[in-house]
Amino acid sequence: MRISELAESSKNVKRMGEIDEAFQGRYPPLCALGRALLAEGVLLKMCRKKIKERKFFLFNDMLVYAKIAGHELYYAQRTIPLKTLDVEDVIDTFKDTLKHAWIVKSPEKSFVLIAENEDEKQHWFLNLKACIRLLRINKEKEKIDYAPIWIPDDESNECMRCEGGKFTVFRRKHHCRKCGAIVCSGCSTRSVVIKGQGNDPLRVCDACFERFYSESES
């Protein structure tokens, strides 16, 4: 079935209306002309502090995810347009937490997703790639600056840029918004506006500042 036929089907319209109801009217309606729901399900998302369950919806033009409040109840909706999104495979490792995983990259946010099994992973991964490819047909490939994947807090208890010792209540952890590394305040003394991540200056590690931004401020 073509995307246009699926979008107009009564089953698709009914399910999208149910999804809008599940967000309790707190966000702009997802049901729209020409929009089709291609996949939905609960996936594990690698967040800043730990891996958490999130509900995901794949439409033909965007990826939506949210926190789960209960059965068919969701909140904290996040939306990523597929025209600025890309996916990258992660080869399974012996580390159980990274089995059946792949990377979602966008200018606003990038993260690792983990499926329950290989079949579920391939279902999501291949559908995402197909949607992205369709949206980019006959369009020049533009360079997109993707947001970094943040290193989870529990992956390191020391600064990744110096040997200043372990983090404490007074020596706090920070994330570089350019590379995602965990750093101390002494190694992240500068803030810059990063393309695709809003208009406010964001903390970056000194190594990234020297590499990407020092010339622009000289």
pLDDT digits (tens, 9 = 90+) for 57-68: 999 999 999 999
pLDDT at 170 over 60: yes
pLDDT at 53 over 70: yes
> By residue range, what is the domain housing residue 172?
153-217
Percent of the chain with pLDDT over 70: 93
Nearest alpha-carbon partner for 107 in 210, 204, 198: 198
How many structural domains does the chain have? 2
pLDDT at 78: 96
- Token pair for residue 38? 């291609």
pLDDT digits (tens, 9 = 90+) for 83-111: 999 999 887 654 566 789 999 999 888 99
Any idea what the CATH number is for the domain that residue 161 is in?
A: 3.30.40.10
Same domain, yes or no, for 94 and 35?
yes
pLDDT digits (tens, 9 = 90+) for 112-143: 999 999 999 999 999 999 999 988 875 666 77
CA distances 218 to 179, 194, 195, Å, are 22, 17, 19
Same domain, yes or no, for 157 and 85?
no
Contact 118, 100 (CB under 8 A): yes
Same domain, yes or no, for 82 and 116?
yes
| pLDDT band at 17; cut points 50, 70, 90 | very high
- Token pair for residue 11? 């089953």
